[in-house]
Amino acid sequence: MGKRVSFMNAIRDGIAEEMRKDPTVVIMGEGVGERGGSYGHTKNLWQEFGAERVIDTPISENGFTGMAVGAAATGLRPIVDIMFADILYEIMSQVAQQAGKLSYMSAGQYSVPMVIRAQMGCRITGPHHSACLYALCMHVPGLKVVVPGNAYDAKGLMKTAIRDDDPVVFFEHKFNYAVRSELPEEEYYVPFDKANILREGKDITVVSIGPMQDKVLSAIEKGLVDADVELIDPRVYVPLNFDEIRESVKKTGRLVIVEEGYLTCGAGAEIAARVSETVMGSMKAPIVRVAALDIPHPYAPVLEHAMIPDEQDIADAVNSVMSHK
């Protein structure tokens, strides 16, 4: 029997397991030490591993991210906690120009085995702390991009990310932190090269990004969707796990992509383009993307709710695609 663990604690437990195995794994960020992180997401790590490996930093994300790049290139495996994905705009020079390019520019003499934890998503946190910026990182050569959708995947993917020799940007949705899943007692890893087929179906393929899988499943359970849905979570977006999506669309001939990231140039746009290039002959209806509006995130809950997709938006998209016979 497994145990029910929250998304947040699953990630923390995965980090702790890897830190016990490998003394080169360290974590750094604002308040990650004795305080246990702004969300409690590093709770007890400082007590177990000490201040030399759980490093409280000044409020200088560009500085400590650069420090982590150098540490990764010279023997450590740092985990950088930037607290909010929006901080990527502040540290992008270190992430894109240094971490993403160092292995290439050194002809493989250096690797940069680091993980950047980026908390994302709406939760009444306003325009500076709410964006889902995985698509931004998808456009940077040299980075791997991971967006787990549930606690099981979050733990297993984090453990895989820590062991990876390339820089990984690991996006964690704040709204998911309290959501629990049953996790096995034994140790496990989730590989980067396999999408998660959450539900098999014959009528339409729905690709959900991150926590959107819960909204899709909720729409189905509430009877809002008039179709037998095959639901796929790619898990990893660079390198994109596309094989499962391609084979599903070949079977169903219909595709809806659901994400909380911005619509324009989003991950959904990349997936739609690849489907168009490879299996367009199988399509029975246009591809539909469901995503956040291209506006700054509002503080007001009613406006925030209007900005991001909900169960009814997803159902309307699926039913619209299914109307094409």
For the segment 149-175, what is each residue's pLDDT rounded down to a tens digit? 999 999 999 999 999 999 999 999 998
61 in catalytic set: yes
Question: For 306-315, what is the mean pLDDT?
Answer: 96
pTM here?
0.96
Q: What is the pLDDT of residue 204?
A: 98
Instruction: Assign 40 a pLDDT band (cuts: 50, 70, 90).
Output: confident
Q: What is the pLDDT of residue 49?
A: 96
Percent of the chain exceeding pLDDT 70 equals 99
Question: For 24-40, what is the mean pLDDT?
Answer: 92
- Selecting among 18, 30, 61, 270, the annotated active-site residue is 61
Question: For residue 205, what are the β-bridge partners?
Answer: 230, 255
Those residues whose C-beta lies under 8 Å from the C-beta of residue 12, and which sit 6 or more positions away, are 41, 42, 43, 44, 45
Those residues whose C-beta lies under 8 Å from the C-beta of residue 320, and which sit 6 or more positions away, are 288
Residue 1 has pLDDT above 70, yes or no: no
Q: What is the pLDDT of residue 175?
A: 86
- End-to-end, the C-alpha distance of the chain in Å comes to 45
Those residues whose C-beta lies under 8 Å from the C-beta of residue 130, and which sit 6 or more positions away, are 86, 120, 121, 122, 123, 297, 304
Shared fold status for 3-183 and 196-322 = yes
Return mean pLDDT, the chain.
95
> What architecture is the 196-322 domain classified under in CATH?
3-Layer(aba) Sandwich (3.40)
> Does domain 3-183 bear CATH number 3.40.50.970?
yes
Question: CB–CB of 164/192 below 8 Å?
Answer: yes
129 in catalytic set: yes
Residue 191 has pLDDT above 70, yes or no: yes
Q: What is the pLDDT of residue 286?
A: 97
- Selecting among 18, 30, 41, 129, the annotated active-site residue is 129
CA distance 1 to 22: 28
Q: What is the pLDDT of residue 325?
A: 76
Question: Can you read off the two tokens belonging to residue 144?
Answer: 């791997």
Q: What is the pLDDT of residue 38?
A: 85
Q: pLDDT tens for residues 79-106?
A: 999 999 999 999 999 999 999 999 999 9
Instruction: Assign 303 a pLDDT band (cuts: 50, 70, 90).
Output: very high
Q: What is the pLDDT of residue 122?
A: 82
Q: What is the pLDDT of residue 271?
A: 98
CA distance 301 to 144: 33
Domain-wise residue ranges, the chain: 3-183, 196-322
Instruction: Assign 126 a pLDDT band (cuts: 50, 70, 90).
Output: confident
Instruction: Assign 200 a pLDDT band (cuts: 50, 70, 90).
Output: very high
Reference 202, options 225, 231, 222; nearest CA is 231
Q: What is the pLDDT of residue 6?
A: 95
Question: For 187-210, what is the mean pLDDT?
Answer: 97
